[in-house]
Amino acid sequence: MNQKTVAVVGAGPAGLFAARALAEKDIKVALFNRDIRPGGLAEYGIYPEKHTLKIGLRRQFLNILEQENISYFGNVEIGENKDLSLSQLQAMGFQGILVTAGAQKIKELDLEGETLPRVYHAWEIVSRYNNLPPYSQIEYPLGKKVVIVGVGNVMADVARFLLQKGGVEEILAIARRGPAEIKFHETEFAHIAQNLDRSDFDAEMERVTPLMLKLGQDPNETWAFIEKACENCEERTSSTNLKLRFLKSPIRFIGDEKTGLQGVECVENTLIEENHSMKTVPTSLHTIFEADTAILAVGSSVDGEIGLPVLKDQFAISPYPDYPQDGISYELMYPDTQKNIPGIFVAGWSRLASYGLVGISGKDGSRGAQALYEYIDEKKKNSPDWKELEFQILNSKNAVINKKMMKQLFSIEAEIATKNHLAEYKFATNQEMLTALGLV
């Protein structure tokens, strides 16, 4: 068989769009996914109540999987000491590999007290409420005074969850920079704006206005943004007070193993403009916020266990790609020698952790696929025997999920949802999914 054959690792939006782009160029794609379900964070990150978006994406993803050139291998984790390693995939004869495994590792801040009880990473909370195994089975007790570190859309989602869950008196969202650098979108903030403590917000804006004016920023733009979100906000159904604090970075989580978190110590920052962006500079002022729960919504890290070099929270992206796409590098390098790693490409959140919505990640996947395509087109390696490859993959572990099983699982879940008058139903454990499919 002469058909070129590649492996795509990770079936989130980036991997699925990459697989489609490659399949359309008549490349045979083996799409590996650690989770049983495809979709990545579109399935397990996007807020559960965004049913229309989620159902639309699921349908689009299933359509992609319909392509004959794509074979889905769900429930197969790639990495060192996992079901298959990257070097095993290379040894099996894949002509190139695209890693689109997202950034699914907790990003540590390395602060004192970070492992205290009731200090969580947003990843854990989001995965819990979205039913991602194994987080779906872990309890994350929450207190009454919650500090969320970070002011992006994930903060807005987590705050939305806390408001709906109830029992929280105060949510304090802490921003490293100022109001002009807020990252959440107005539409996301509108889900929580009804609980914003307006007099507290006014006072906080007054506090930071002199710095904003000094930097040439317009506080009225922040007011207008917040006003609009408040106009479009939901009905207030809980007494939780939502507060925002700007120009603060956590430096220590205070508490002990027995009682858990009791406070979050922050340093006050100021801002200076450097190379057209705002850089934070810590001052000598410290504040301690009383809190019994902290949730770190500061993005996540790529997973080094996949077997690729990591620098800080990102894979080691080569600054000198051989196959750049629109000036972007989808290639990796060995950090020691700075030499490019041949034949392995990255895209989506694996290329740039925690960056962009589904559309952006999908596009990035397609561009990464183009880089991989140019590589295999140039190298002209021999194509492997597909039947032999498939045999090895299916024997790499029990219960490898294929497209047919996937569709069957979705229809079983849809039936349960209909029967119980639910907008959606999703099995919370791999065991349940495999049992429903008759595989265990």
Distances (CA, A) of 328 to 96, 142, 203, 309: 19, 41, 43, 19
**CA pair distance 319, 244, nearest whole angstrom:** 38
**CA pair distance 394, 312, nearest whole angstrom:** 34
> Which position has the token pair 């997202």?
102
Q: Which of residues 95-134 bind ligand FAD (CB under 6 A)?
A: 100-102, 104, 126
Could you tell me how many residues of this chain bind ligand FAD (CB under 6 A)?
Answer: 36
Q: How far is the CB of 72 from ligand FAD (least distance, A)?
A: 11
Q: Is 14 in the site for ligand FAD (CB under 6 A)?
A: yes
- Comparing CB distances to ligand FAD, the nearer of 34 and 177 is 34
| Sheet hosting strand 340-346, strand order edge to edge | 70-74, 28-33, 5-9, 97-99, 340-346, 331-333
Q: Is 219 in the site for ligand FAD (CB under 6 A)?
A: no
Please give the angle made by the CA atoms of 180, 183 and 189, to the nearest 5 degrees. 100
Q: Is 260 in the site for ligand FAD (CB under 6 A)?
A: no
Q: Which of residues 353-412 bind ligand FAD (CB under 6 A)?
A: 356-358, 361
The residue nearest ligand FAD at its CB is 12
Q: Is 184 in the site for ligand FAD (CB under 6 A)?
A: no
Q: Is 343 in the site for ligand FAD (CB under 6 A)?
A: no
**CA pair distance 125, 127, nearest whole angstrom:** 5
Question: Which tokens belong to 120?
Answer: 């969580």
- Comparing CB distances to ligand FAD, the nearer of 119 and 297 is 297
Q: Is 21 in the site for ligand FAD (CB under 6 A)?
A: no
Q: Is 34 in the site for ligand FAD (CB under 6 A)?
A: yes
> Which position has the token pair 């507060």?
243
Q: Is 10 in the site for ligand FAD (CB under 6 A)?
A: yes
Q: Is 33 in the site for ligand FAD (CB under 6 A)?
A: yes
Is residue 110 helix, strand or coil?
Answer: coil
The amino acid that residue 400 corresponds to is V
Q: How far is the CB of 174 from ligand FAD (least distance, A)?
A: 18
Q: How far is the CB of 299 from ligand FAD (least distance, A)?
A: 9
Q: How far is the CB of 243 from ligand FAD (least distance, A)?
A: 21
Q: How far is the CB of 79 from ligand FAD (least distance, A)?
A: 5
Q: How far is the CB of 380 from ligand FAD (least distance, A)?
A: 28
Strand partners, 78: 84
**Helix, strand, coil in percent for the chain, rounding step 5:** 35, 25, 40
Question: For 344, left (φ over 0), alpha (ψ -120 to 50), or beta?
Answer: beta
Q: Do 140 and 119 touch, CB atoms closer than 8 A?
A: no
Q: How far is the CB of 322 from ligand FAD (least distance, A)?
A: 22
Binding site for ligand FAD (CB under 6 A): 9-15, 32-35, 40-42, 45-47, 50, 77-79, 100-102, 104, 126, 154, 157, 303, 306, 348-349, 356-358, 361
